A and B are shown apart, each in its own frame.
Chain A
């Protein structure tokens, strides 16, 4: 896969860096302020999950261009412990860290497409897409 740009997540402040880059790309593609906020929030959730559960990983951005519509794809990749039960983390209110448990189901609602692939002990890859309307 050819990514436009990636941000490595190692420190908490890298989340801010990923968010800003993602917001810039979204603005260039032509997203409005509401969708920019949605995209930035989704990136924030994905990057924070990497920071909290995997320690390190990366968030990559890709500008999508098809004949009839444009969009942005965000891919969060880590080599962390993986997710045991994916259906469980997609439930509202489930959290292993005492948080609100709205992260992943929230991201799914913020974006148009949501794909998660996780293998225990190997890592997690989440790809989300927002289309420009």
Chain B
């Protein structure tokens, strides 16, 4: 019986493909085809339906399916294209088999449904797995990339190091900040470390707590910490929260913090003499003659 249904489908594959293409084509107003040319859409449809039939014929998932889905993922086709396609296929093929059959009772009907589901569902599952697998892969790569960016330490000059923090600080990142900070202070032999929080959107008690701990740890290994980049609204919320940041110096901007760091290491910024002015004077005096 099952064989019979399968044979009906395989023998009339051309007709089914035609129906599927027509039905699916009428779906074309869906957003996902907006940026895809008609030619491309048609050839992909043809390939898609061939892949479906080959997996029905071989009674299992073929490597064609993997290749096909992999290529679509790389090209950035939406998953909804494939799931829509499979749903249309299920509808078309059920209709077609029922039309070909002489007698239709409930048993026969449910058997056909089960048979069709047995072809269609594994393909859908495989496609969804392929897609979500590729997304998970991307997310994990991005997480690694983000972690590399999360607590950078820049040795700007001898004995002075800067750690610019941008974005939200969570527990994991706070740990990383602490580790990088202490490692970096030892490695670069820093006397002063500037922690810049200009890019931290919210400073709540947890963030403040971690910063205080980091500063305290830096003090223990014999260096000094200056907290810079405190925006006015952050200063107000810190006061409201009642957080005591009095144990280490704080500055509004990196520039001011850097000047303080230079002072602490017995240095200062000195402007070099402006030579342009002298040349201009010389030219002026020449013109006068």
**Chain A contacts to B: CB under 8 angstroms:** 12-13, 15-16, 19, 33-34, 36-38, 40-41, 44-45, 48, 92, 99-103, 105-106, 109-110
Contact = CB atoms under 8 A, between A and B. Distances in A.
Interface of B: 168, 170-171, 201-206, 208-209, 212, 232-234, 236-237, 240-243
A44 to B, nearest CB: 4
A102 B258 CA distance: 30
Contacts of B243: 100, 102, 106
Contacts of A16: 168, 170
Given A19-B202, A100-B209, A106 B171 contact: no
Contact of A12 (B170, B234, B241): B170
Contacts of B236: 34, 37-38
Nearest to B209: A100
B252 to A, nearest CB: 15
A124 to B, nearest CB: 17
Nearest to A38: B237
Nearest to A32: B233
Contacts of B242: 92, 102, 105-106, 109
Contacts of A102: 205, 208, 241-243
A99 to B, nearest CB: 6
Contacts of A41: 202-204, 237, 240-241
Nearest to B201: A40
A37 B206 contact: no
29 contacts: A12-B170, A12-B171, A16-B168, A16-B170, A33-B233, A34-B232, A37-B202, A37-B236, A37-B237, A38-B236, A40-B202, A41-B203, A41-B204, A41-B237, A41-B240, A45-B204, A100-B208, A100-B212, A100-B243, A101-B205, A102-B205, A102-B208, A102-B241, A106-B242, A106-B243, A109-B241, A109-B242, A110-B237, A110-B241
